[in-house]
Amino acid sequence: MRKIIVLLGAPGSGKGTQAVFIKEMGFKHISTGEILREEVKKGTELGKRVKSIMEKGELVSDDIINELMFNVVRENSGGLLFDGYPRNITQAESFDEFLKGENLKVDYVIYLDVSEDICKKRLSGRFFCPECKKDYNIYFSPPKNDRLCDNCGKELIQRDDDKENVVEERLKVYFEKTYPLIEYYEKKKVLYRVNGEKDVIEIKEDIEKILKNGSIKEG
């Protein structure tokens, strides 16, 4: 039976890492950002519209995102893992309605539960060496000397996306728009909470158990 998974979690919850593991379990990884970039590259009518929206720095509308994701479901016959979709209640409702028409449904919503404080530290703590590219996190894997690379002594730098004000904005948008999906899917009895603060391999094993038994408990 064809299964559809939605991976939910705040920025910094470790979705990217777990998506790779779930992909290895045989699900096709559908990343919203990647689908948008591909559509632009293909130069379709929709792709051209997306390109002009993104060039203006505007947000791609729910209707366009829905249309692209529905196409993904139509064009793929195997299990799918959605990462970054749905992003809000409106998208989730449209997705459910569409899937119903295809005799499908969202089977599992895997929610990586990580406190806001940890997410913030994982993202805003990221620094790297401009010389040897070594990665650090000033909270979890700091250099020996304040903000200096252990290998070459260069001063560490930070990507703009990881700066504290940007991270705070990303988390704010997530809690306003995406977080309500947890309650939405809980009511539909397809939500599975996974403690996302554990070791990555333990999280992977918890997800495997859910997909195999429908619960984290051995079964």
Q: Which residues bind Zn ion (CB under 5 A)?
A: 129, 131-132, 149, 151-152
Shortest distance, position 138 Cβ to Zn ion, whole Å: 15
Identify whether 37 is a catalytic site residue. Answer: no
Q: Among residues 82 and 136, whose Cβ is nearest to Zn ion?
A: 136
Strands (E) located in the chain: 4-8, 28-31, 80-83, 108-113, 126-128, 135-137, 191-195
Q: Among residues 33 and 153, whose Cβ is nearest to Zn ion?
A: 153
CA distance linking residue 199 with residue 219, whole number of Å:
22
Shortest distance, position 146 Cβ to Zn ion, whole Å: 15
Identify whether 193 is a catalytic site residue. Answer: no
CA angle, corner 55, sides to 15 and 174, nearest 5? Answer: 30
Shortest distance, position 140 Cβ to Zn ion, whole Å: 18
CA distance linking residue 171 with residue 174, whole number of Å:
5
Which residue is catalytic, options 120, 122, 170, 204?
A: 170
> 117: helix, coil or strand?
helix
Q: Is 196 exposed, middle or buried (0-12, 13-18, 19+ CB in 10 A)?
A: buried
Which residue is catalytic, options 2, 159, 172, 188?
A: 159
Identify whether 15 is a catalytic site residue. Answer: yes
Identify whether 126 is a catalytic site residue. Answer: yes
Q: Which residues pair with 110 in a beta bridge?
A: 7, 192
CA distance linking residue 115 with residue 137, whole number of Å:
17
Q: What is the 3-state composition of the chain as percent helix, strand, coil, each rounded to the nearest 5?
A: 50, 15, 35
Identify whether 74 is a catalytic site residue. Answer: no
Is the CA virtual torsion 97, 98, 102, 104 positive or negative?
negative
Which residue is catalytic, options 15, 120, 122, 204?
A: 15
Active-site annotation, residues: 15, 87, 126, 159, 170
